[in-house]
Amino acid sequence: MRAQAALAQGRFEEALRLADETEAIAAPDDFEPHVRLRCVRAQALASSDDLAGAERAIRDALAIAEPTDYLPVRAFAALSLADVERLAGRAEAEASALEEALRLSELKGDLVTAARAQTRLAALLGREGTAAP
């Protein structure tokens, strides 16, 4: 998704525009692009200090993702929630979201995403390279 690439490069306005474009063309019953665009929107808004908008967007993403059994998109949403919580300065909530992303990734067998979540969680907890308790 191009919006994710723009977000990763710190181009928040472009990420928001591309998320809007994705929303306009995504099929209503195709949940994955709807989750991903809302996650991108949440991260871009949080990075632009619109925490209220970010929280609405991430809650919308989670509401779409959580009822599914598609673990990769649920883990993506959990990592996005962790980013929003980090940018809002809520370390405990960030840790909780990272733990959920780790759990979902391990359940799926997605070692790359699990390692990413575990590394972020360890750094947050100040224990580099160790798992959360």
CA dist., res. 43 & res. 99, Å (int): 19
Count the Cβ atoms, other than its own, within 10 Å of residue 111. 10
Q: Which two tokens stand for residue 70?
A: 């598609």
Q: What are the mean pLDDT values of the chain's consecutive 10-residue runs (133 residues total)?
A: 94 97 96 97 97 98 97 98 97 97 98 97 76 45
pLDDT at 47: 96
For residue 9, report the phi and psi dihedrals to the nearest 5 degrees: -95, 5
Domains of the chain: 2-125 (1.25.40.10)
Q: For the purposes of burial, counting CB atoms within 10 Å of the CB of 32, is it exposed (0-12), middle (13-18) or buried (19 or more)?
A: middle
pLDDT at 132: 45
Closest by Cα among 39, 43, 7, 45 to 23: 39
